[in-house]
Amino acid sequence: MPTSVPRSRYWQHVGVSHHLVRWTGLAGSVMLAVAAFLGGAMPDGDLRPNPVKIWLGPNGPLIIGLWLFGTAAMAVAWWVLRDRVPSARWALVTAGLWILPFLFTPPLGSRDAYAYACQGASFSAGISPYEYGVSTLPCPWLDSMSYIWRDTPAPYGPLFVVLSGAVVAATGSLLGSIALFRVFAVAGVVLTAVCLPVLARRSGVPVGRALWLALASPLVGVHLISGVHNDALMIGLMVAGLAVVVSRPGRPWPLLAGGVVLGMAAGIKVTVLVVVPFAALAAIAGGFSVRALLRDGTPVVGGAVATLLGVTFAAGLDFGWITGLSHGNDVVAWTSPPTAVGQTVGYLVLPFGLHIDALPVTRGIAVVVLAALLVWLWFRARTRDPLWHAALALTATVALAPLFHPWYWFWPLALLAATAQRTWWFSVVTVASSFLVLADGTGLARYTKTVGAPLMTLLVIVVAVRLVRSARAARRPVPVE
């Protein structure tokens, strides 16, 4: 506390700043909610929009202005308090206030909600969305769904396919389906809020800071709640499963239950399987040994795998989500680092009259690097914090994937918020990700590739050099005085 400011006045000033931050963020969320009603991802909206068409369309400047200033207000308010939240209760109340306007808006930033409904309609009609695209039914709301995903298999886990079918069967309407999907999204965010403090305490991170970082960013309100992405439910179940595991290490039945919850999370999106080996390490009571890993890790891994397989076969499905995931390669955007590097290579050889598609090579290298990184992180986690290394594993998975959407960043963000000591680097990524998609789902990366791809490639080089130098410094022996 500054010595020149009396204690009472100092805390009064801090309280005012927190009050201002709370209402600034709420004003931003209200602006974004209005933008959703004026120009969000409506069912009858333009399926091939671009920023110029939006600007020249009805209320175009107002929609873009509300989106820009609303996102900026939320992002700045979140950033300002990322390391000085008054309390966990204050963080929860403020995040809840910011989320409130998004509960009643049309989808923002994505048309995925319509894909969920169409895939649910296919499954409820007895057609596997892993074997056929939704245009096979045809879906009664096919005109609301993006063209690129109409003839591709669903990339989601079997549990979400079952839930989608149940939602469509229960509601029978597009509006009702989206409302129920939003209920699932809210449930996922609430589950994260309830269970994240367990992980934060386990890692020695302030609970209020962890809740603020995970729940108050623009990504949550815009993409998880308004955009109704199933990532919210996936992360909620993942955090809950990890919380059960770290709360009862060495206890077989609680560890089995934690594994089952992690398996349910993988049933939403199989990306969660990246975390399961680290959960097995977190389950060990005492120091690491192969015997302890087999004793305590087996219930976690077994519960997760058995749940995923059980849901798959009980639903009469197969592993078609693997094919669905591969169709992410169809989207080319510089927001994915390996994709940006491939694009940049193509740009560099153009002056020489060469036309090279380097994407298969750079994306293939990224897969190999990711596999090596995951193995290395797991071996490091044996004698260190498994939760922190699980967060790094999810970060690497997102960074090296061939496709990046802003809501993907919530995967590692939830765990980073509860385990990281330094917050600035992933906070920068969070803020940048918030500005990548316009209100109607138009991705700005598509229109900025000639600038974005080289800049992302430069960032990849800088990060790689710094990591190599850091690794060399860590191996360098400390001189004895």
161-182, pLDDT tens digit by residue? 999 999 999 999 999 999 999 9
In a domain, 458, yes or no: no
Q: Which residue has the tokens 């190599």?
A: 468
What pLDDT shows up at residue 353?
Answer: 84
In a domain, 208, yes or no: yes
Task: Give the contacts of 9 (CB within 8 A, at least 6 positions apart).
Answer: none
- pLDDT at residue 370 greater than cutoff 50: yes
Quote the CA–CA distance of 354 and 479 in Å, as a whole number. Answer: 52
Q: What is the DSSP letter of 303?
A: H
Element (H, E) at 452: helix 449-475
Contact 51, 447 (CB under 8 A): yes
How many CB atoms within 10 Å of residue 19? 10
pLDDT mean over 41-59: 88
Quote the percentage of the chain above a pLDDT of 70.
94
Quote the CA–CA distance of 297 and 284 in Å, as a whole number. Answer: 7
pLDDT tier at 11, thresholds 50, 70, 90: very low
Task: Give the contacts of 268 (CB within 8 A, at least 6 positions apart).
Answer: 156, 157, 159, 160, 230, 233, 234, 237
Quote the CA–CA distance of 383 and 372 in Å, as a whole number. Answer: 18
Contact 88, 207 (CB under 8 A): yes
Map residue 443 onto helix, strand or coil: strand
Element (H, E) at 345: helix 337-349
In a domain, 389, yes or no: no
pLDDT tier at 6, thresholds 50, 70, 90: very low
Number of domains observed in the structure of the chain: 1
pLDDT mean over 14-35: 88
Q: Distances from the Cα of 350 to the Cαs of 21, 115, 356, 428, 455, in angstroms?
A: 48, 37, 8, 33, 18
Task: Give the contacts of 460 (CB within 8 A, at least 6 positions apart).
Answer: 337, 340, 341
| Residues spanned by the domain of 437 | 7-331+403-447
Quote the percentage of the chain above a pLDDT of 90.
75
Beta bridge partners of 437: 443
What pLDDT shows up at residue 17?
Answer: 83
Quote the CA–CA distance of 230 and 232 in Å, as a whole number. Answer: 5
What pLDDT shows up at residue 243?
Answer: 98
pLDDT tier at 200, thresholds 50, 70, 90: very high
Q: Which residue has the tokens 């302030």?
A: 206
What pLDDT shows up at residue 14?
Answer: 46
Lowest pLDDT segment from 6-10, 145-149, 161-165, 167-171? 6-10
- pLDDT at residue 303 greater than cutoff 70: yes
- pLDDT at residue 323 greater than cutoff 90: no
pLDDT mean over 304-313: 95
pLDDT mean over 416-432: 95
What pLDDT shows up at residue 256?
Answer: 97
pLDDT mean over 325-332: 74
Q: Could you tell me which of 108, 89, 95 has the C-alpha nearest to residue 25?
A: 95
pLDDT tier at 148, thresholds 50, 70, 90: confident
In a domain, 452, yes or no: no
Quote the CA–CA distance of 455 and 465 in Å, as a whole number. Answer: 15
262-282, pLDDT tens digit by residue? 999 999 999 999 999 999 999
In a domain, 388, yes or no: no
pLDDT tier at 352, thresholds 50, 70, 90: confident
- pLDDT at residue 72 greater than cutoff 70: yes
- pLDDT at residue 430 greater than cutoff 80: yes
- pLDDT at residue 26 greater than cutoff 90: yes
Average pLDDT, the chain: 91
In a domain, 196, yes or no: yes
- pTM of the predicted model, to two decimals? 0.93
In a domain, 345, yes or no: no
- pLDDT at residue 15 greater than cutoff 90: no
In a domain, 460, yes or no: no
What pLDDT shows up at residue 328?
Answer: 67
Exposure on the CB side of residue 470, measured as CA atoms within 13 A: 6
